[in-house]
Amino acid sequence: MNKTVNTRCVVTGLGLISAIGNDVNECWENALAGKSGIKKVTSVDDTNCYANLGAEVSCDTLDVDDLSKEVDRVSKLCLKASREAMKDAAYEIAADEASRVGVIMGSCVGGVVSIENYVTKGGKTEDINRMSISQIATHVANAVGAKGVITNVGNACAAGTISIAYACELIRAGVADAFIVGGADAFASVPYSGFLALHALSENPCSPFNHSNGITLGEGSGALVVESYEHAMKRGAKIYCDVLSAGISSDAHHITAPRTDGVGQMYAIRTAIKNSGITPADIDYINAHGTGTGKNDQAEFLSLHTIFDEETDKLSVSSTKAMVGHCLGAAGAIEAVFAVKALTENKIPPTVGYTEEDLAALPEKAGKIDFMPNEMKEKELNYVMSNSFAFGGSNASIIFSKKPGDVKETETDEKIYVTGMGIVSPLGNGVANYIEKATSGASMETASGIANVGKEDYDKFDVKMAFYRKLDKFSLMQVISGLEAMQSAGIEVTEDNTESLGMIVGTGDGPITTVYEFQEAISAQGNANGSAFNFPNTVYNAAGGYLSIKNGMRGYNVTVTSGAQAGLSAVCYAYNELKQNRASAMMASGTDENSEVMTKLYNQLGLTTDAKKSAYDGGNGFNLSDGSTTIVLEKESYAKEHGAKLYAEVAGYGMAHANIGIGDLAGSEEALVSAMNQALEAAGVKASDIDCVFGFANGNAMVDDMEKKGLAALFEDMPVIEVKDIVGEARAAAATLSAGHAALTLAGELGTSQKGYVFKNDATIEKATINTENFKNVLAIAYAQGGTYSAVVLKKAE
């Protein structure tokens, strides 16, 4: 049975910083005036580079407070826009509602400026915690006091749009009342050099839908306050517009180039329109992706003409990238702010840069669509769309409306089951291997774990050399665990089901090793000599993109990065997509890499130790390791349709954050308890119904003490099983594995007893052999430095 979930989501605050202004009004006035922010670059070295233009932010108030001084430039930009959005929304989060308010930010390259600083300025410890995308939303959450779902979307140039879509999904799911969403990216050497290497930068200012000879990079941040209509009304907020529905898809085609047939883009656009309860004829204006590369513009022309030409004579389309440049993970957010301003003021910003000659050539390409050359127009607008398409074949489309709309989103009451699994770990690859190792009491032999992917894996899953040689280790681990998971679930991708199969990849550190090595190379050889081969692997969603290319899945495909717990938050996210009927089956993965680079960084942070550690050993340090775990979640009807094995039911989840310092955990127990309580409530069980907790303890006292404090708040005597005793601190891979191991336990795959611990509520914890035979309800939990937690209740499959 499906019920309608059309909770109105409204935009109540806007924030913006870009090359054409340091706040919304300045950016908007300049956009309407057609003023371009594209100039010769100043923040990166352009020696011997064939293109030297960029759209850089000029703002001397980025360091307005102590917090801003301590963060990467990407977070400075994001904090600036977010604070403006909160001020514009006149919203101050009250303590008693903070757990219902979240932050979701999109980014492509995250703290890459800090990676450059680390590499070129003496390897300072303070730069390490600034490198990952993971930190961006945390900084915003701490600045505004949000304690709900705090995460970042790493889908490259579609990230900003997806962040808004996910926030609305969660509001409609009843998980949250309000979000600060958007995206940010800073101008930096890695993307500049990488796009140069791909010959994707234009020598002249980018010229979308016109000369189409390359992009101009920009930087900035867009932020929006999105809340349920009820929440907005209750606090008397001014409302800009409604956010209707969105469409998210994957091309399953190429890591950098869009499909020439536009199929992925069109699925995203059509899904957004259909689920918004409108028709193509209703769309008045589209803020296009419009990067200005030949391949993008050609595919986008095709998609727009195919969907809209027969339906409407009144469509206007513009690309504001001609003024603010391509701001990568911020693009979708910045363009969403422009789209909302256009809608509410009935003014459409132009696509600048057309000469008389260009104008003469435009009608043939534009057909019935008004591509808004050079001049803004005033026009009554009711529905506007913003589109973003990205590396990894990621597509996102979202619709803003003046009217409440007739959103067609639904929610199923079907149960969600774990039906398959794939594991890459330092103990070897494959679920059968893991079961053998786990039941024989094996653990990592050394204090630093490294998983290996090789010929045996390629042969097993028919991965050809022409494919696997392109992938870095981060992507290889993801692809192998994903392929095993789909195979074990018995799902074959066909033309009929491809768009209903999706994946959420969670990662704490993403491809930081590859980004770091790319930075080292260009620091030595110059920005003109970046590697075209390696650059595509620097984006966080490359791993999920490659997996979709390999297995052909064209459905929902998002990479979230929010510290080590991202692997379990991916399970929460995937569960939500199935409950809201955006997919029939979803992979949920956690992947993180160990390498010389990662070992060096974690050593320098003082988080690792040379001693072999188990949970609750006490003292500082854990055993850094890596891997990838993928579990397949399916709706009951779909699983039964193809006779899938039901390992366990995923019954509910919770996510929470504490406003403590980056890299800290002390004082965050309230968030752990909040996440666990939310999960119990969502699953309809009480703490006393839980038979076992699958924990996150890793031998580092700070982490293990936090787990004990959380357990003490909810449970009396409680059996605890720790997967990191087996695979080490594999971060996101271990976080997903806590749920995977729980599912294997409930399915009886790991025998009738396991080594574990018994927590007693006098705060002692003792090693014990746990009888698992009669487990009915269990809880998997995961933590991230900075006090972000996820919790998932799993039930024995009926």
User: Which residues of this chain interact with another protein, rule CB under 8 A?
Assistant: 197-199, 256, 464-467, 469-470, 529, 531-533, 536
Residue 469 beta carbon to another protein: minimum distance, rounded to whole angstroms: 4
Residue 495 beta carbon to another protein: minimum distance, rounded to whole angstroms: 24
Residue 614 beta carbon to another protein: minimum distance, rounded to whole angstroms: 37
Q: What are phi and psi of 48, to 5 degrees?
A: 60, 15
DSSP letter at 527 equals G
- Buried b / exposed e along 452-489 (16+ C-beta atoms within 10 A): ebeeebbeebebeeeebebbbbbbbbbbbbbbbbbbbb
Between 194 and 740, name the residue whose CB sits nearer to another protein: 194
Residue 205 beta carbon to another protein: minimum distance, rounded to whole angstroms: 22
Residue 215 beta carbon to another protein: minimum distance, rounded to whole angstroms: 16
Q: Active site includes 157? A: yes
Residue 256 beta carbon to another protein: minimum distance, rounded to whole angstroms: 7
Q: Which of 289, 327, 692, 741 is catalytic?
A: 289
Q: Which residues pair with 10 in a beta bridge?
A: 227, 242
- Residue 564: name the closest of 8, 247, 138 by CA: 138
Q: Which of 326, 572, 657, 692 is catalytic?
A: 326
Structure tokens at 744: 């294997």
Between 48 and 764, name the residue whose CB sits nearer to another protein: 48
Between 124 and 199, name the residue whose CB sits nearer to another protein: 199
Between 95 and 465, name the residue whose CB sits nearer to another protein: 465
Residue 319 beta carbon to another protein: minimum distance, rounded to whole angstroms: 24
Instruction: Report how far residue 506's alpha carbon sits from residue 629's, in angstroms, rounded to the nearest whole number.
Output: 10
Between 256 and 386, name the residue whose CB sits nearer to another protein: 256
Residue 552 beta carbon to another protein: minimum distance, rounded to whole angstroms: 18
Angle between helix 596-604 and helix 512-525 axes, rounded to 10 deg: 100
Between 319 and 534, name the residue whose CB sits nearer to another protein: 534
Between 202 and 276, name the residue whose CB sits nearer to another protein: 202
Between 470 and 612, name the residue whose CB sits nearer to another protein: 470
Q: Which of 9, 108, 157, 572 is catalytic?
A: 157
Q: What is the 3-state secondary structure (H, E, C) of 416-446?
A: EEEEEEEEEECCEECHHHHHHHHHCCCCCCC
Query: In whole angstroms, what separates CA 731 from the centre of its chain?
Result: 16
Residue 600 beta carbon to another protein: minimum distance, rounded to whole angstroms: 22
Q: Active site includes 78? A: no
Q: Where does residue 495 rank: exposed (0-12), middle (13-18), buried (19+ CB within 10 A)?
A: exposed
**DSSP code per residue over 583-600:** -SEEEEEEEE---HHHHH
Between 162 and 476, name the residue whose CB sits nearer to another protein: 476
State the DSSP H helix or E strand holding residue 663, giving kind and residue range, or none if neither.
none
State the DSSP H helix or E strand holding residue 399, giving kind and residue range, or none if neither.
strand 394-401
Q: Active site includes 642? A: no
Instruction: Report how far residue 498's alpha carbon sits from residue 501's, in angstroms, rounded to the nearest whole number.
Output: 6
- Buried b / exposed e along 35-67 (16+ C-beta atoms within 10 A): ebbbbebeebbbeebebbbbbbbebeebeeeeb
Q: Which residues contact 63 (CB under 8 A, 6 or more apart)?
A: 69, 76
To 5 degrees, how large is the angle CA 12–CA 281–CA 320? Answer: 55
Instruction: Report how far residue 83's alpha carbon sits from residue 715's, in angstroms, rounded to the nearest whole number.
Output: 39
To 5 degrees, how large is the angle CA 207–CA 350–CA 335? Answer: 85
Q: What are phi and psi of 281, to 5 degrees?
A: -65, -20
To 5 degrees, how large is the angle CA 775–CA 780–CA 786? Answer: 160
**DSSP code per residue over 32-63:** HTT----EE--SS--TT-S--EEB----S-S-
Between 59 and 532, name the residue whose CB sits nearer to another protein: 532
Between 414 and 520, name the residue whose CB sits nearer to another protein: 520
Cβ atoms of residues 585 and 635 within 8 Å: yes
To 5 degrees, how large is the angle CA 312–CA 366–CA 266? Answer: 60
Active site positions, annotated = 157, 289, 326
